[in-house]
Amino acid sequence: MAEKPKKPQKLRARLPRGLADLRPAEIAATRAMVGKIREVYERYGFEPVETPAMEYTDALGKFLPDQDRPNEGVFSFQDDDEQWISLRYDLTAPLARYVAENFDTLPKPYRSYREGYVYRNEKPGPGRFRQFMQFDADTVGSASPAADAEMCMMAADTMEALGIERGQYVVKVNNRKVLDGVMESIGLGGEENAGRRLTVLRAIDKLDRLGVDGVKQLLGEGRKDESGDYTKGAGLSSEKIGYVVKQFDGGVEIHPPTIQVNVATNAPEINPTILEQGYSELKEIERLVATAGYGADRIKIDRSVVRGLEYYTGPVFEVELLLDTKDEKGRPVRFGSVGGGGRYDGLVSRFRGEPVPATGFSIGVSRLQAALTMLGKLDITPESGPVVVTVFDRDRIADYQKMVAALRNANIRAELYLGNPRNMGNQLKYADRRNSPCVIIQGSDEKANGRIQIKDLILGAGLSEIRDREEYLKKQTAAQYEVDEGRLVEAVREVLARHEVKWG
């Protein structure tokens, strides 16, 4: 007996981990945020540029020749010519490639901004996504500390433009030259220690999130997180761990601390030139921002700021939200850093073979949007939907489409109901789901008399709450009424104006 053919298995709809679908209200909130950020950036004289989401992997600085697939932190694939291509990890490395490729035609310094999604091939978790939006601004071609100070001031202005008041955020500034001096003091200078040095810096970068004990674990043998995942540590001795933590958990004093050389066996001495230069740049930034009217309550020196990327060469900065709130389950939430950046004088130079100074700042739009939403500083209520022209008589589709066209020509969002028109109730339910301010109804009797009905759905939504009969009848009459067919656009505009709905 022949076996019955197997029924084809239905494909299961599922979203990959670390990604998120966005609905209209969230998209509208993002647009509003991005618009405010753009206004600040353009006020500072930056112009837009857009780079692709993919770059050659070596241009991102992530190429790993000892692996068959260079996928540490990035999503990569091989092109048909066997070139490795990766989704961009951030917006800075693609800008460096763009500037290097168009160096002779761009004004220097070159001031630009760009927004877009970036991609991280990392384990997703709460607040950690594989795709998220950033908004960057960069100045390429200036070595002046004034360029770094300007980034800090622009970061502060952006936070306030987004409704975050003074005292609710702070821009923290440090210098990688100071960090390099500390790295040398524990024997991690030079290219041969680049990987281990980066592990140390990334551990310090987690000080505000993991605390001193967590950072000590990452500086030592390693740390196991709450999920059970293990992160290998930098393997420093307990003496070196104590020294490193002391340097970065010591408050915001800008003057150089007393640094002990030979802090551990065989540890080389610090290069005082690097350290002194780092502190000198910090003092100059502090002077510049103070002169411009930005006090320490907005921009301050903080030795705990590291930034996890290897390419920073000078001042580094982070924007931290100081507000505490609770999530939907009542658990305390501290948002921490929502943006950062710094000086990266070597990134463009990789392509040019000559020094090209650069500095930039990046806002984590997705992270900041989540924070602003939770704090109630971002409106995520759905925007008003289109006016819906209902279909009463199937054979008069052309008449209804003409009404829709008249509304659209008046710059009013409108649509014709394209579902099964058999049930008017279903059409009204559809309009409700579309968050429509009103619907247009015209049956054969109204058409014969040159009339149309306007049903104000916003006004009608509040009828069930009215207990007084006279008030109910009055509002009911105001919620659905007839007008001359020629007054269609005018009548719809009156409804939109009544409820302050933007229509054009």
Predicted confidence band at 127 (pLDDT cuts at 50, 70, 90)? low
Across residues 252-276, what is the average pLDDT?
48
Mean pLDDT of 269-296: 85
Q: What is the mean pLDDT of residues 92-98?
A: 95
Confidence of residue 122 (pLDDT cuts 50, 70, 90): confident
What is the pLDDT, as a whole number, of residue 64?
41
Residue 190 pLDDT exceeds 90: no
Query: Which residue carries 């030979």 as its tokens?
Result: 262
Cβ atoms 133, 30 nearer than 8 A = yes
Q: How many CB atoms lie within 10 A of CB 392?
A: 21
Spatial separation of the C-alpha atoms in residues 90 and 136, rounded to whole Å? 9
What are the tens digits of pLDDT across the range 105-120?
A: 999 999 999 999 999 9
Q: What amino acid occupies position 344?
A: Y
* Assigned token pair, 364: 């984590």
3-class secondary structure, 121: strand
Domains of the chain (ranges; CATH) run: 24-53+88-208+239-374 (3.30.930.10), 387-498 (3.40.50.800)
Instruction: Quote the pLDDT of residue 45.
Output: 97
Beta-carbon contacts of 404 under 8 Å, excluding residues fewer than 6 positions away, are 389, 414, 415, 416
Is the alpha carbon torsion for 213, 215, 220, 222 positive or negative?
positive
The yes-or-no verdict on residue 219 having pLDDT over 70 is yes
User: 145-161 vs 272-291: helix axis angle to the nearest 10?
Assistant: 50
Q: Residue 7's pLDDT is what? A: 75
